[in-house]
Structure 1
């Protein structure tokens, strides 16, 4: 159970359901509020229209006992002394109006209780001037106020109690008596409509959420099915340690398909790395075996026959073994991601030192410096010196007479070139020679040709310094190795 609810499918379905539920609840509340507001406004308009109709009857002198709203809604007329002057028929109880009484009482000064009686009204004070032309009786004193007040209340009509919206409109009789007319419009239609919509939402919302959860579950399950296939295949690859296997790639062009392709590319790179590592171990063992075996033989002969000991050969084998161990150690550090020191190196000065050292040795092919453009690069002086030494060693092994070292500027780059006048490198082999333990001339003696690590080390060091190492044809017909490094302080 815990695993099921912890799956991506369950989380996606639950998340989508919660989001939809919140959205629907918010939308439902908004719809109910708008619906209730609209229906209440309609009831207000209806109550106001009926109240003004009754107020107009009062202003025209209609007797109080004959007043009635046009739609027969609950009606109540109250004077300034809170006396009920008129009520609608069948009104048994009321609240939210000027008085809770439903019994009409005539004015003490009005003999018949009508709005146009003959008696004087004590209310004829300064307020009567609002009616119009002087302080006397007559049509000029009748008036219906433009203002309306709305209130909520209840009314009991024919034994049934309901909620109403009451409109209150002030009116003045022709005799100058001021009253307030209350007419209520029922809210039953509004309440029924809101209840109907709310009930539909309460029924439809859970069903819709179930549909959303189910559809999300199915869609997510279908979308993640390739991911499960990738997971199973990766688990099988891990268990079998067979890096030649690949995960299935879906036909779709979505994120899952890109994940599968990236996974296969990673497996391919991992397989190549493992195979390269295996070849490296095998080649290293093979390269180490030769000097160790030679050195052991010479030492055994020296022990048995001291006069036959080849001391120079033993020293050469020891030096060769030492150099090979140093190369292997440097490659291991480079493979581990060792970053070069962040110092400034003068390439032209480095070339001059190497050319002078080679000239002082006085052995083999002549090494001379050509054009040297001054400039500095960032990196390790020791590692870059190792690269230059490896390139010069390679040139000296293949040159006919001389090797030329130069440094030139190309934009924000400095290019260190080592050119020889030898046979050159075939175009088809110009990338393979940078692989580890690769020698194009397998017939060459190991002592003369080296272990095949110099160029591999040189390219790895160049890459660690953010540069490149390539080979092309020399103007003298041989090979020209170019180390391209970014100039220190350049905008790039």
Structure 2
């Protein structure tokens, strides 16, 4: 539930509670006021009748001038009656307010009765009810609408900031979020986000410069060292051969680390229409140290994806190399097109020991090698699958372990190609 909806519901609930209390108080106050007014009128009527009775004897009765005087009940004293006394026209017990008084006249003591109708009070209450019953829901709807519009207008700059930040990637860190003219909390948020983007842009630029400098500083000495070992004296070539293997592994590790650094920095990659089937076929046919493993191909020809050929080649090479190192005797590489979704699926499976379910996510962590592979995997650094996953993510693809024996199967799924606009 969003902030806008929560604020609207909260404001409407508060106003509804306030209106309910106000309506209850209004009904109670109006009812008391109208009842008091009816009592006052009944008392005035009784007073008027008492004066007439004193002036004219017993010629005025309970019903008004010209009526017959009414004697009170034996246990009835002066005051308001709950219902019409005997001798009054028949009405409901709650239709009248009745006030009785005893008056001593020349003819004796008589009781005069003053009455006032509650019909105007009840009519006023019905009118108020008729106004409040449709009026309160309409007022609540108006409050909800105005709150929804006001909160939406207040949050519009926040939505623009969120959308802009979501669109900013490593390739366009120079862009900034819009800053509203108001000097309120939203404006402060926009200025803070832009300041953060300034620092992020500076940090990414420094990181890229560091990667470039490290690539130059690391590759040059190792290239010189390798050249010297290759030109070593014949008597030292046996020792130099082992050193050359170590240098080769060190160069591969350095290249992997530098590539991971570039991928972490989200450096933009140059994409173009690429024949993934050709890349898969070439990488599967490449010679590898293990000659006892057969690599089988099941390819759908002319499968095109949008991506960087160099990065895609590295992804395929890492997946096939990983499968060959752990296979018992065969590896299968399959490239298919999902006709329904338009996705391209690259699956690489082997007949090795497989990946336990509890390690299927850990295999993509850096410098991770499973225990059963440590004794026989002497050529890997534990970075191959991490690089393959990051390359897949850079191409808006996914790379995962497909569960199920025998062996291990890794599958990369590429999104459908976006048709080029004319």
After TM superposition, the score normalised by the length of structure 2 is: 0.45
Larger radius of gyration: 1
